[in-house]
Chain A
Amino acid sequence: MNKIDLTFTVNGGVRTVATKPHRTLLNVLREDLDLISVKEGCSQGDCGACVVIMDGFAVNSCLVLAPQAQGSEIITLEGLAQNGELHPLQKMFIEKWAFQCGYCTPGILMSCYALLLHNPVPTPDEVKDAISGNLCRCTGYQAIIDAVMAAVAS
């Protein structure tokens, strides 16, 4: 199988990667572009650790074939802070202790950011739904929801 050229926008910059077509967006982001915030937790779409934003929506990057990302706009956690300034979500996650081991955190932040892109003033139930595909084994989720609500309020 020959490699294909994948050209897409990642965190605001256009990138081109040559890849075999069976590889996933997760593989390309982590391995080819060193965007290591995108984590591998199960490779099956069951855990959400690999969630990134693709064309404005949260997706499991382990379930997107690399060629399917052709021409798309991807945002990973590395792209959340702008000009060195932390996003309110990031600030509140720190303040509310909304992470412990941190492994699920990039995926959770992306799901939360995706929510805010479409719904800037969500209810706690909407936040719960937004992260319902992100498993967390450490926090019990409550602190995460508190952090998002605090970020929205700020």
Chain B
Amino acid sequence: MKPNSVDRIIKTDILTIGGGGASTAAAVAAYERGTKVTLVSKGKVGRSGNTIMIGGGFGIDGESAYKVCGEKGVDVGFTKDALFKRTVQNSFYLSDQNIVQQFVSEAPKAVKRCLDWARNAKQIFKLNPPAPVWRTSGRSFGRTLMQAIKENPGIEVIEDVIVVDLLINNCTVVGALGVDVYTGDVILFEAKAVVLATGGYQPYSFKNTISDMTGDGIAMALRAGAKIADMEFLLFIPTILEPRNIRGSILPYLMTFAPSFKSVFKVVDCRGDEIVIPKEFYKIPKANKLNKLLYSYFWGKAIFEGIKEYGNCIFYDFSHCSDREIEDAFEGLKQEYSTWHKNGWYNKVNLEELKQIIMKDRRLKVGLGCEYSMGGVVVDEKMSAGIPGLFAAGEVTSGLFGAFRGGDGLTEMLAQGFRAGMSAAEYINGISNTDVDYTQIDSIIHRIMEPFNRNEGVSPYKVQRNIENAADRGFNFFRDEEGLQSTLKELERIKVEELPRMSLASKSRRYNFEWITSILVKNLITCNEAGTKAALMRKESRGCHMRTDYPEVNNEEWLVKIEAQMEGSQIELTTRKPIVTKMPLPEGKHKSILDYVLWTL
């Protein structure tokens, strides 16, 4: 029986949701185990999602890079144990160590599969020994994923469909409901298992990620009854603010470790004062991701102190440089990225044009943009999300990186994606037919259609801006009680005054992105609220959670994960100790996150 309001029904064994690496890996793994697999993606596979926004690369332990992936000259002394230790330390000990164990042991084979696809797609993944890290670009990685789909033609791919909610029956996930962005058709997916691979959330107005990181998977899982955790931890990197046509480019982060840019520019705040990172941190190599934390701390602090006056803004200052130094720096950058980009370009940045601007202005306007959320769905080492039929992989999960991702998101999505696909295939073995609950379907459709029925109200576009502005206001890289309370108050206001009054300018369902936005903002506000509440609760600083009013890293009281779950219509928080398998949790306190970082070196 098909409810009238459903336009299409797709029946499958396993539904993977997402268009990036985690979803593709899960789909391939499940398909190889003889199941019928449908991959549904918000955009096009390999041309959507945060996977294509990557600027760096991905790594594993040195021994496996040699033994499993056949790379010569790599540092085999960087063992699995060393990778495990580094991941846990960088997480400020908030990693669930069973998840780290899964990552360390299953990543090599997953990465090998990815390297094979890349080779078949004629994409260059470059490893510069001795570091067991492959460098690539977003576009190259996207093409690699398209190759994976091409090599597994039995995987059914449904693109440009936004999944609205998971379907539950008898406390089991039995599918999902989606909307085709182009036609506005409502699609019912009936599945024996679902893999969420939808990425993280990004609540701010300033973006360097894909445009709609609204945390759909995290919010859907929460509504379905799953637990989410670590939502207060968001990772920032320096991002271009101006000129406007290249706003959002992560080139300023790449400049911090590009060999040709070494020490060329100084970083100054909006008052013109240089921001100096103390010498004791110089021993951290420039390409080490720990530097992201230092930039958030030192540059973020300078921004935070003047944020009301100047906004999220600093400058890369080249005033002391000769023309020659600037030219050489850009020449190096052009050469470095010509492997993956049109010569003289980095994605949409014309490097020659940017060089001319910098030669003239002697500065580049930069802000801190959020690139990754450490928080997400709580999973076990099989990638099960704690509800029968529901699995999750990649950035949508929590558990691997804790308070700070000092490792590679690409490796995470591959290692977890394959495992989630395998687990889902195993799970459906014992499942015969599943039934969907039509009452739930009717109620979801009723909910998403409501904005069409209102003749006046507030535009979902405005609601999205208001949610983002609320996050900008007090839930930033640095936080304090007052700011967080003000964010939470504004989110509450939006929930009461705006969400129930959303209306649409066009009543047509055809590519009605205002309507799609009305669906997505509910996910964004849920993630934003969970993150802000957790940030208020955590009265200490840890990893990417930096509180001006509680600067200490306080292991005595706060070496716990904050988990969120729905209680009725409310998000309720609880705490628990991280899962320990190997490295005992440290005790005591550190004066600041800087002290903690120095302690780990």
Partners in one complex: no
Contact residues of B with A, CB < 8 Å?
A: none
